[in-house]
């Protein structure tokens, strides 16, 4: 996978950035700088190309997901993160997954469906992908989800299903509602920053 790695200051936050459809490894850099200045950053580009747009897994239409691709790419993402973390001598437990839309979807799927030492996620506008096979406890996971009440892509049912999956798995869950659509807003990112600052 193509990626960008930037070493931050000592004792700074460590963020893994996962862009939305059509983004790349640079798309969330400004937001990362706002969320946690001087943080260590690993920003990954999805390996799937759809009509010239980068994605993290295939789909067959709007919200029609290729589940074989989802599983393959989730494994690829997990292995890439583990390999880079080992090379950079960063424990997986130190990372915070930061995803938007498509990137948030695959990151949430990773936390829900894989045995992993990754344990923190900040996900903007994610949705359920219709898969929930693991019944492992996520009591060691801390997750923040945002949802736009006028989002034309993420339905209330799909978001609520994802939130229920995290709750049912005993994750430490925070939900932030906005009155906006699928786009990121300053107020939403400010709420995420406040949440992140309160984390140990």
For residue 52, what are the contacts with CB-CB under 8 A and spacing of at least 6? none
Q: Active-site positions?
A: 101, 151, 182
For residue 67, what are the contacts with CB-CB under 8 A and spacing of at least 6? 129, 130, 131
φ/ψ bin of 25: left (φ > 0), alpha (ψ from -120 to 50), beta (otherwise) = alpha
Question: Beta 53-55 vs 48-50: how paired, if at all?
Answer: antiparallel
Number of neighbouring beta carbons within 10 Å of residue 125: 27
Backbone φ and ψ of 134, nearest 5°:
-75, 140
How far apart CA 157 and CA 160 sit, in angstroms, is: 5
Q: Which residues pair with 143 in a beta bridge?
A: 121, 173
């Amino acid at each position: 996978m193509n990626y960008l790695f930037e070493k931050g200051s000592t004792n700074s936050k460590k963020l893994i950035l996962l862009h939305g459809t059509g983004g790349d490894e640079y798309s969330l850099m400004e937001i990362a700088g706002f969320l946690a200045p001087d943080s260590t950053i690993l920003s990954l580009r999805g390996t799937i190309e759809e009509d010239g747009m980068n994605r993290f897994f295939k789909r067959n239409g709007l919200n029609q997901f290729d589940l074989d691709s989802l599983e393959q790419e989730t494994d690829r993402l997990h292995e890439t993160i583990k390999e880079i973390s080992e090379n950079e001598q960063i424990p997986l437990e130190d990372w915070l997954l930061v995803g938007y839309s498509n990137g948030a979807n695959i990151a949430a799927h990773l936390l829900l469906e894989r045995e992993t030492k990754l344990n923190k996620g900040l996900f903007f506008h994610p949705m359920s992908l219709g898969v929930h096979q693991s019944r492992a406890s996520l009591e060691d996971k801390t997750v923040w989800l945002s949802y736009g009440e006028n989002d034309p892509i993420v339905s209330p049912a799909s978001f609520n299903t994802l939130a229920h999956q995290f709750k049912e798995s005993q994750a430490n869950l925070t939900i932030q509602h906005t009155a906006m659509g699928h786009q990121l807003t300053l107020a939403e990112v400010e709420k995420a920053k406040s949440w992140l600052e309160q984390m140990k």
